[in-house]
Amino acid sequence: MTRQLGDRYRSLLRFYPADYRAERGDEIVDTYLDLARPGQRRPSRADVVDLASGGARQHLRARHAHGLADALPFAATLALSAATALAAVWLVAAETVTIPVGVFWTSAGPFATLGAVAWIVWLLASVAALLGRGRPVVLLALLATVATIPASVLTPYARPPLFVLLPQVALGLLALFLPARRVSYEPAVVGLAAAGIAVLVRTDFFYYNLLDVLALVALGLASAVAVAGVVFTARGDTRGWWPFVLLLGPILLLALTRLSESGPQQWPKFSAAALTAVVSMVVAVAAVPASLWLSGRRRRTRCSECGQRTVG
Amino acid sequence: MREPTFLILTALARAPMHGYGLITEVAELSGGRVELRPGTLYGALDRLADDGLVERDREEIVDGRARRYYRLTDRGETALGAEVERLSHTVRAAQARLSARATQRPAVA
């Protein structure tokens, strides 16, 4: 029984780099066996998550990029704060628009589109984060946001434009890395402030008149990660500029929407918005391996005696 | 310093320990609040070793299982001492505020 359990734990060590596995594998498996309950036959789900995240951290450590993993909770908190602010503005300012008489439109109850459901779940996610339970509600909000697309096809109800949904999904994917069981009050505070401002300036806006909101949130996020980057670097904090790299995708998606407007219409054409989204995602995805490569390269120094490159 | 790091260093302050011993000691020190798993523990130990706060002590084979012991370095002892001082200062400040609040509260008949 113990041998079978040990083999199952050992098979999970594939998450780790090979050299680390060779050096530390027995120690990790033996510690798991020491902790095993009597009669336990297989690793628990929490054990799998523990070894998967431990393996990911070792891969980053091997590339001298601890900071990436360390920066995820911080970047996730910023992402949820931005997503909450946007959800609050969309719900208060865009979803309560008065549909002009004569326009054929099927309202979703008191709201203009199905997006209201997703925005409400995003607001609930910020409340759940106050209780240290944000992650599952963020997942729910993410699913609700994506679900507006097929739901709008299958029902007579409209959905928010894609240039609103896409940045929200990008922010949501990052917000999934919220620290488990840690209270985060920032998203609720930022959301409340955004809702307050939206109530004060609210007139008959719809998503298409509110494109500046995307640019403003992009500016806010960029400023926050720039300040964090300077502070972390000055303090010698391993997170350094990683939050900037992690949030680059959402920032580009938010910022470039305003810039991709074309012609007399005050919102981006589908082709321009799609191109913007693809460029943003390619740049953001490429930024992570490029930063990892640079991070590893910076650590390499040339040995003064033998002239060979060594990792320091 | 994060709580798990603080608890690992505190556990090692008494004597060198192996992974299983550290996990049980950290759980006891935190009153069962912090339950480290091996993947997390060894990741934390690697980070602490990279920072020069802990180092390997010795290895033993007990009942056919590898036991590697870790100990606190001088630098680790200094870092732990500084963190204890910082936390003590915060606790003293909180206690002073609470005492002041208690004396300011009007007596209830």
User: What are the residue ranges spanned by the domains of chain A?
Assistant: 2-62, 66-299
Task: Return the structure tokens found at A295.
Answer: 């991070």
Q: How far apart are CA A141 and CA A137, in angstroms?
A: 6
Helix, strand, coil percentages in chain B from 3-state DSSP, rounded to 5: 60, 15, 20
Q: Chain A residues within 8 A (CB-CB) of chain B? A: 24, 26-28, 30-35, 46-47, 50-51, 53-55, 57-58, 61, 66
Helix, coil or strand: residue A210: coil
Give yes or no for a contact between A51 and A15, defined as CB atoms under 8 angstroms apart.
Answer: yes
Nearest-Cα residue of chain A relative to residue B60: A27
Cβ of A34 within 8 Å of Cβ of B65? The answer is: yes
Cβ of B65 within 8 Å of Cβ of A32? The answer is: no
H or E stretch covering A251:
helix A242-259
Q: Residue B42's CB: how many other CB atoms inside 10 A?
A: 24
What's the DSSP call for residue A212? H
Q: What is the pLDDT along chain B (109 residues), one digit of tens a residue?
A: 788 899 999 999 999 999 999 999 999 999 988 889 999 999 999 989 988 999 999 888 877 777 899 999 999 999 999 999 999 999 999 999 998 888 887 665 5
Q: What is the pLDDT along chain A (312 residues), one digit of tens a residue?
A: 578 888 999 999 999 999 899 988 989 999 999 898 888 889 999 899 999 989 988 888 887 777 888 888 999 999 999 999 999 999 988 888 776 666 677 777 788 888 999 999 999 999 999 988 888 999 999 999 999 999 988 988 888 988 889 899 999 999 998 877 778 888 999 989 988 888 887 766 778 777 888 889 999 999 999 999 999 888 878 788 889 999 998 998 888 776 655 555 566 677 777 777 788 788 877 887 787 777 666 655 544 454 444 443
Domains and CATH numbers, chain B: 3-104 (1.10.10.10)
Angle at A91 between CA A74 and CA A202, to 5 degrees: 110
Residue from A12, A30, A40 to probe the interface with B (highest B Cβ count within 10 Å): A30
Residues in B touching A55 (Cβ below 8 Å): 39
| Chain A nearest C-alpha distance from B108 (Å) | 34
Q: Which of B43, B65, B67 sits opposite A58 (nearest CB)?
A: B43
Residues in A touching B40 (Cβ below 8 Å): 50, 53-54
Per-residue pLDDT tens for A262-292? 555 566 677 777 777 788 788 877 887 787 7
Nearest-Cα residue of chain A relative to residue B22: A31
Per-residue pLDDT tens for A24-82? 898 999 999 989 888 888 999 989 999 998 998 888 888 777 788 888 899 999 999 99
